[in-house]
Structure 1
């Protein structure tokens, strides 16, 4: 039997109802909630199940979503916010969709570990900033930290909708 890349769903907590009094707690809380939601949709599945593309002709898979959101974390937090030069991990200029397409290139357990590590690195970068008004050091300084974190909540929410449908097609599991 293939080792499960993620045996159990991580703890997931909605931001407190009074978090709207603290913008940072609210936005970062929702971002972590959505990160945990994606991992929860992947929990308990084998590598084969994570790689399954159950909604033809779409190439979406849960593993592809993990790979894609790893790239998105890197691009927005390392690249845009911190101004680092980041090379893609799962795709290239010659194969721009390989985060979704080339699933066999990296074992699922390694993808999950990299995703979790990238999220943790993003948390550290955000925590190091004293204000949500700080401008990005990359992408010509066009984005505030507030915009980046808000965008990431939107990005995860959209892809978690995909993950809901994919998981239900794989094993019938439903839930928020």
Structure 2
């Protein structure tokens, strides 16, 4: 499957800019995983870490779900995909994980996140983040998601280079 990564615009209104930057980072994660086998996607960074490209995909499915469904969408009681007790680290355990299931879950959460964001009247929407007990705006959530992807895409850079030498994607 070919992954198209669309560069964000250099001039746009704030909401379009945030959407495009977030999508750019989502596409980057997918590009980092493109063309690898199930075995390669499970290769761990450094013992004892469970960090792998497949684990990152699963983790980001959880993060998308947590912020856009549980927080912005107010589905507070919705469990995470791979953890009933809100353990984000559980997604990194990929021993018995199915690659197709992980990517399907991640893509479904991304699409749901896009629908939730588009349905909001404004970036000024304020919602309650219950785990820390703070109010956050949709703008903050979008920026946080860009940060989350950027940080993990840095991990993905190193993982992919160690797997097959690919850099610069």
TM over 0.5: yes
1:66 aligned counterpart, secondary structure: helix
For 2:136 and 2:90, the matched residues in 1 are separated by: 27
**Is 47-56 or 148-157 further displaced after alignment?**
47-56
Residue 59 in 1 paired to residue 50 in 2? Answer: yes
In the alignment, which residue of structure 1 is the partner of 2:80?
Answer: 88
**Is 70-79 or 82-91 further displaced after alignment?**
82-91
CA contact 1:37–1:160 (8 Å) conserved in 2: yes
CA contact 1:82–1:138 (8 Å) conserved in 2: no
2:11 aligned counterpart, secondary structure: helix
For 1:18 and 1:167, the matched residues in 2 are separated by: 31
Q: CA deviation at 1:11?
A: 0.9
| Unmatched segments (≥5 aa) in structure 1 | 1-6
Q: 1:49 aligns with which of 32, 35, 40?
A: 40
1:126-145 equivalent positions in 2, closer than 5 A: 126-136=117-127, 139=130, 142-145=135-138
For 2:129 and 2:42, the matched residues in 1 are separated by: 33
CA contact 2:8–2:17 (8 Å) conserved in 1: yes
Q: C-alpha root-mean-square deviation of aligned residues, in Å?
A: 1.8
For 2:86 and 2:20, the matched residues in 1 are separated by: 36
More strand by share: 2
Taking a change above 3 Å as real, the CA distance of residues 127 and 87 of structure 1, as seen in their structure-2 partners, is same
Q: 2:145 aligns with which of 128, 141, 152?
A: 152
In the alignment, which residue of structure 1 is the partner of 2:90?
Answer: 98
Describe the superposition over 1:106-134 as per-residue Cα deviations: whole angstroms up to 9, x where unpaired: 31011111111110110000000110001
2:126 aligned counterpart, secondary structure: coil
- Give the TM-score normalised by the residue count of structure 1: 0.88
For 2:139 and 2:50, the matched residues in 1 are separated by: 32
- Give the TM-score normalised by the residue count of structure 2: 0.91
CA contact 2:62–2:88 (8 Å) conserved in 1: no
Taking a change above 3 Å as real, the CA distance of residues 78 and 156 of structure 1, as seen in their structure-2 partners, is same
2:95 aligned counterpart, secondary structure: helix
Aligned pair count? Answer: 166
| Unmatched segments (≥5 aa) in structure 2 | none
In the alignment, which residue of structure 1 is the partner of 2:113?
Answer: 122
